[in-house]
Amino acid sequence: MLNALVAYSKARLDSEPGFKARELRWRIDLAADGRFLNVQPLGDAKRGENQPRCPDMHSMNSGGRAHFLVETAQTAILLFKAHEDPKKIFTAEERHRFFVLLLEEAAKSVQQLAPLVELLASAHLLAEVRQALAAHKVKPSDWIGWQVDGVDPRLDSDVQAWWREWRRRDLGGPGQDAIGDANRVSNPAKDNPMVCLLTGTSTAPLATHPKITGLSGVGGLAMGDVLVGFDKAAFGSYGLDQSANAAMTAEAVQNYVDGLNDLIKTRSRKLSNTLVVHWFKERVEPQDDPLAFLYGMDPEGTESAALAEMRRLLESVRTGQRADLGNNRYYALTLSGASGRVMVRDWMEGKFEDLVQHVEAWFADLAIVARDGKGHAPNPKFLAVCGALVRDLKDLPAPTTATLWRVAVQGLSIPQPLMTQALARFRADIVARDQPAFNHARIGLIRAYFVRKLLGGDSNMTAYLNPAHPEPAYHCGRLLAVLADLQRAALGDVGAGVVQRYYAAFSQTPGLVLGRLISNARNHRGKLESGLAWWYDQRIAEVMSQLQDRAPRILDLEGQGLFALGYYQQLAAPRTGNKPGEVTESTPELKETK
């Protein structure tokens, strides 16, 4: 996983220890003589502009330090909220002094920074800048950059060279990997180099690694979380402390941190209480990204196109039309945060072709007839499938989301506990109302369980009604749907009808309830005109011919799942046939009777 992150960073990012990309919201423009010109907004109304090569100060937790050159408006310009806490003002002023001293030292070697130093030394000019920032409604926490005489000093090679040298001296070693007392591990490896886990080269281990940001919405901290860290003795080994348990060079650490931070910012998707990031070895256009369709982010914005698009893409890969995609690989991480640590819920990688095949199978297996009988229900978004398991999406545990994501991406069987959850929600909706608004994703997930069951799956579990299904439990569900329709035709809306009264019992102990339901059906039949009564007799006879005398006394969980599918598919049957576009006998008399 870390090697894949390092490869991503090296291929697509400008990563180096001591530098990081930051989201800058504003730029302060200065003339060559230090005069303040204007404040320039960066980015759009929602986000700032992501700018690389921002100097990143180490040992910030020690207090009193500030980042070089690029800082927040509060630290750089002393911009505060109205009625700010005096303690926060004192801390910010201390950091501001460090910020100014660092720039003054740099300006001795890099003349381009002299105008910036002159600005910061003038109380009058600082007040003018603060007034302009306030007019633009700049927040004290917004990051700001600079432009001096039309040039951004952040990108100047001399400025970067000065920062590298200052950082090397401050860390106290002859090279970038030589870590001094401020960040060196106090353990047996202190004076003996160790082997880097990622590069295999000799290195002095970093005591701590930079933090991963962007997980605050899934349990992480706003200040960031640690991916590689050992802060307790129980996590250590061989007498090693902190990150010496996973020794890495500074360059390797910066690469994996920058890579993951960039992926979280640009290639992540929140799924319930987890964050999923994915990428490819070689770049893939959005319209060819299978996981974008899995999320429900169709690049074309069309509805129900995912399955057809995956089949088209899979065919083009297999026939060699898209050899560039056939040789590609995918990588996917499922993350959350907990107590300042990055929780890696799952890690997957594999061939691009396999990914397309699994995503295509996901949509095919979830396919279910729409309640109105007019073809398939729309392809569900992944979050809709997750939400089908619980009353409210916020109640879905992160491990459950991670499990379902792995099932979809790797083409695995649906775990029975997930089918059981979906079945419980289906039953609750059925009993709660007479004509429920069926959740297609929930019913599709129950069907997918049987399609993917064991090695061969259940080929009889089609998206549409299958009158020849071999399982009695399926036909018991069909029978309840027919009897409920018969009751509505005879009595209209009676509130708590046969479904509300008998669904729970009939779906669990059909052999004990069947006789009572058939007896009630005879009473309902007597209230219909002869033609409509005959039509219902035919429907009941057709189902009973499949059931015969095989009504089980008790149904297990799988039997209850088949019951639910038979019930739902029978409800749609009068509106459609067993196959898309095949219309069966309908009931024109039904509208008149009702």
Q: Please determine, for residue 212, whether its predicted confidence score (pLDDT) is greater than 90.
A: yes
In a domain, residue 242? The reply is no
pLDDT grade for 593, boundaries at 50, 70 and 90: very low
Question: Average pLDDT of 177-190?
Answer: 40
Question: Average pLDDT of 108-128?
Answer: 93
Mean pLDDT lowest among 31-35, 209-213, 574-578: 574-578
Q: Please determine, for residue 180, whether its predicted confidence score (pLDDT) is greater than 50.
A: no
Q: Please determine, for residue 528, whether its predicted confidence score (pLDDT) is greater than 90.
A: no
Provide the b/e sequence for 103-121 (b: ≥16 CB within 10 Å). beebbeebebbbbbbebbe
Q: What does the block give as tokens for 6?
A: 């390092």
In sequence order, which residues have a C-beta less than 8 Å from that of residue 558 and are 6 or more positions away? 416, 450, 473
Domain that holds residue 129: 18-171
Name the nearest CA neighbour of 332 among 306, 362, 352: 352
In a domain, residue 300? The reply is yes
Per-residue CA distances from 378 to 367, 381, 464 (Å): 8, 9, 14
> pLDDT (tens digit, 9 = 90+) per residue, 390-419?
988 888 888 899 999 999 999 999 999 999
Q: How far apart are the first and last CA of the chain?
A: 63
pLDDT grade for 583, boundaries at 50, 70 and 90: very low
pLDDT grade for 433, boundaries at 50, 70 and 90: low
Q: Of the candidates 139, 171, 203, which is a domain's last residue?
A: 171
pLDDT grade for 297, boundaries at 50, 70 and 90: low
pLDDT grade for 231, boundaries at 50, 70 and 90: confident
Residue 455 pLDDT: 56
Mean pLDDT lowest among 59-63, 101-105, 423-427, 479-483: 59-63
Say how far apart CA 328 and CA 307 lie, in whole Å: 21
> pLDDT (tens digit, 9 = 90+) per residue, 141-176?
999 999 999 999 999 999 999 999 999 998 875 433
> pLDDT (tens digit, 9 = 90+) per residue, 546-559?
888 888 899 999 99
Residue 326 pLDDT: 87
In a domain, residue 589? The reply is yes
Name the nearest CA neighbour of 269 among 151, 401, 152: 401
In a domain, residue 259? The reply is no
- Per the listing, tokens 């929140």 go with 270
The number of domains in the chain is 3
> pLDDT (tens digit, 9 = 90+) per residue, 4-39?
999 999 999 989 999 999 999 999 999 998 899 999
In a domain, residue 555? The reply is yes
Q: Is the dihedral of CA 412, 418, 420, 426 positive or negative?
A: negative
In a domain, residue 427? The reply is yes
Say how far apart CA 479 and CA 260 lie, in whole Å: 54
Same domain, 365 and 489: no
Same domain, 516 and 564: yes
Same domain, 296 and 430: yes
Q: Please determine, for residue 578, whether its predicted confidence score (pLDDT) is greater than 50.
A: no
Same domain, 509 and 454: no
Q: What does the block give as tokens for 44?
A: 């759009």
Same domain, 297 and 442: yes
In a domain, residue 4? The reply is no
The mean predicted confidence, pLDDT, of the chain is: 86
- Highest-confidence range of 171-175, 304-308, 484-488, by mean pLDDT? 484-488
Same domain, 384 and 515: no
Question: Are the beta carbons of 467 and 493 closer than 8 angstroms?
Answer: no
In a domain, residue 256? The reply is no
Question: Are the beta carbons of 570 and 564 closer than 8 angstroms?
Answer: no
**Percent of the chain beyond pLDDT 70?**
90
pLDDT grade for 474, boundaries at 50, 70 and 90: very high
Same domain, 458 and 508: no
Q: Which segments within 84-175 are labelled E, that is strand?
A: 143-148
- The total of other beta-carbon atoms located within 10 Å of residue 60's CB is 13
> pLDDT (tens digit, 9 = 90+) per residue, 350-381?
999 999 999 999 999 999 999 888 888 888 99
- Per the listing, tokens 């302009």 go with 132
Same domain, 414 and 493: no
- Per the listing, tokens 């002869």 go with 530
Question: Average pLDDT of 575-593?
Answer: 40
Note the Cα 165 to chain centre separation in Å: 40
Same domain, 439 and 414: yes
Question: Average pLDDT of 497-517?
Answer: 89
Q: Please determine, for residue 196, whether its predicted confidence score (pLDDT) is greater than 60.
A: yes
Q: What does the block give as tokens for 92?
A: 């910010």
Provide the b/e sequence for 321-356 (b: ≥16 CB within 10 Å). ebeebbebbbbbbbbbbeeebbbebbebeeebbebb
Same domain, 445 and 519: no
Question: Are the beta carbons of 278 and 332 closer than 8 angstroms?
Answer: yes
Of residues 187 and 526, more confidently modeled? 526
Question: Average pLDDT of 435-447?
Answer: 86
Q: Please determine, for residue 188, whether its predicted confidence score (pLDDT) is greater than 90.
A: no
Residue 238 pLDDT: 77
Q: Please determine, for residue 328, whether its predicted confidence score (pLDDT) is greater than 60.
A: yes
Residue 454 pLDDT: 63
Q: Of the candidates 402, 436, 463, which is a domain's last residue?
A: 463
Same domain, 418 and 274: yes
pTM for the whole thing? 0.81
- Per the listing, tokens 């009988």 go with 373
- By three-state DSSP, how is residue 206 classified? strand
Helical segments of 376-509, H only: 382-387, 398-410, 416-432, 440-451, 472-491, 498-508
Q: Please determine, for residue 235, whether its predicted confidence score (pLDDT) is greater than 90.
A: no
DSSP letters along 353-377, please?
HHHHHHHHHHHHHH--B-TTSSSBP
Residue 436 pLDDT: 58
Same domain, 456 and 473: no
Exposed/middle/buried for residue 296 (C-beta within 10 Å: 0-12, 13-18, 19+): middle
Cα dihedral 368, 369, 375, 381, rounded to 10, equals: -40
Q: Please determine, for residue 305, whether its predicted confidence score (pLDDT) is greater than 80.
A: no
Q: Of the candidates 143, 171, 199, which is a domain's last residue?
A: 171
Mean pLDDT lowest among 124-133, 301-310, 580-589: 580-589
